[in-house]
Structure 1
Amino acid sequence: MAAVGLVYVGAVLFVNGIMLLGHVTPRAVAPLNFFVGALQVLTPTYLIVLAAGDPAAIALAAGLYFFGFTYLWVGVNSVTGWPNDGLGWFSLTVTVAGIVFAIYSWTVVGDRAFTVLWLLWALLWLAFFVLMALRRDDLGPVVGVLAASYGVITTGGPGLLLLGGWWEDSGTLAAVLAVLGLLMVPLSFPLSRVLRASPAPPQPAGTAAADERNSHA
């Protein structure tokens, strides 16, 4: 069930990245954020109930709540227009938690690939913190490329591999994920200039007024 959640997290990260690149509005992506956010709250709850008190299973499921709360918060802000500062500071707590879960995955679970995934997620949420809490709006398209690419590399791709039974933890897999994830950080800057939405062309003088008159005709 956690694999299903990863697939949909990949989808929402990709779409939110497209939103940050300016191709869709925040309100347009709100329904997907609400759906995935709710899924990522229900899924860990279900897994914790089935864990029967197993500390390792509970700890791994608990990390999914951070995804759920993030996307629900994005959905609420997209609909209401509330400022993103609070979500930005929450993203910093997710960054710290991601590092802790990475250490747990390495030392207790012994899962090298998910150790790397947690570190990459911590890096992405750190970018969200810089964008929203520090109000670096100029970095929106850069973070958009990073989010969209991580939606494929760190969540959607691994989720599909897990569903197909093709995922197997190894040092090689962990290294590939680390290289791809870290490579996207510097690449996000030039790619953002290519992939960001073009600004709307300026309207000739008087066009806006004419459109207004026509709309009331």
Structure 2
Amino acid sequence: MGSVGLLYVGAVLFVNALMLLGRVEERSAALLNLFVGTLQVVLPTLLLVAAGDDLKAITAAAGVYLFGFTYLYVGIGLLAGLDTTGVGWFSLFVSLSAIGFAAINFLDVRDHPFGVIWLCWSFLWFLFFLVLGLKREELAPYTGWVTLVQAGGTTTLPAFLLLTDTYSTSAAFAVALAACAVVSFGALWFVAGPGRAQSRTSSEPAPGT
């Protein structure tokens, strides 16, 4: 069930990335956030019911709730026209919690690639905190592009690897993921970081010139 939920997280991150980049209208993005948020609350609840005293299963379900509540929070907020500071500061909580889940994957579960993925999610939700909680709107383009990359690299790709039984927990795969993440996020900073979009816009000739 986790791989199915992960696939649809990729879908909602894809749409939210396009929303941050101004390609998708906010209220239309709200519906998918509600759909996926509901899925990400129902699935871990089912896992908890079936987990019994299985601590690893309980821990896995606890992590999924962080994102389910985020998407529900975003969806309701967009439809109701709420201020974004609440979901922004909740994103900081998610970001810090994700570091803990990364440590669990590295040290306890021994799933090194997902340890890297949790760190990527921590970085992304910290960006959400900056944009939504602290109103650092100049970071919205960069955050949008990072969200788009993570929609593919940290959710859709591992979901398909899990669904096709080709996922590997090896350290080599984790190192490859980490390297791709660092290079991608660094390159995007130079392309879409603060001031980059404005400088490109100001350098373009005015219509009719």
Alpha-carbon distance in 2 for matches of 1:116, 1:186: 16
Asked if the contact 2:110/2:169 (under 8 Å) is kept, the reply is no
Asked if the contact 1:146/1:185 (under 8 Å) is kept, the reply is yes
Please name the residue that 2:166 is paired with. Answer: 166
Q: CA deviation at 1:187?
A: 2.2
| Structure 2 counterpart SS, 1:78 | helix
The code of the aligned residue for 2:115 comes to: T
Q: CA deviation at 1:190?
A: 4.4
TM-score (norm. length: structure 2): 0.90
Which moved further from structure 2: 185-194 or 47-56?
Answer: 185-194
Alpha-carbon distance in 2 for matches of 1:12, 1:171: 28
Alpha-carbon distance in 2 for matches of 1:17, 1:187: 17
Q: CA deviation at 1:106?
A: 1.5
Please name the residue that 1:121 is paired with. Answer: 121
Unaligned 5+ runs, structure 1 = 203-217
| Structure 2 counterpart SS, 1:135 | coil
Asked if the contact 1:116/1:177 (under 8 Å) is kept, the reply is yes
Matched, 1:95 2:85: no
Please name the residue that 1:50 is paired with. Answer: 50
TM-score (norm. length: structure 1): 0.86
Matches for 1:1-217 after TM superposition, within 5 Å: 1-192=1-192
Question: RMSD across aligned C-alpha pairs, in angstroms?
Answer: 1.6
The code of the aligned residue for 2:189 comes to: F
Asked if the contact 1:143/1:188 (under 8 Å) is kept, the reply is no
| Structure 2 counterpart SS, 1:63 | helix
Greater gyration radius: 1
Asked if the contact 1:98/1:119 (under 8 Å) is kept, the reply is yes
* Total equivalences in the alignment: 196
Alpha-carbon distance in 2 for matches of 1:20, 1:189: 15
Q: CA deviation at 1:184?
A: 2.2
Q: Which digits, 9 at most, give the CA deviation of each residue in 1:118-171, with x for residues without a partner?
A: 111111101111111111111111100000110100011101110111101111
Please name the residue that 1:210 is paired with. Answer: none
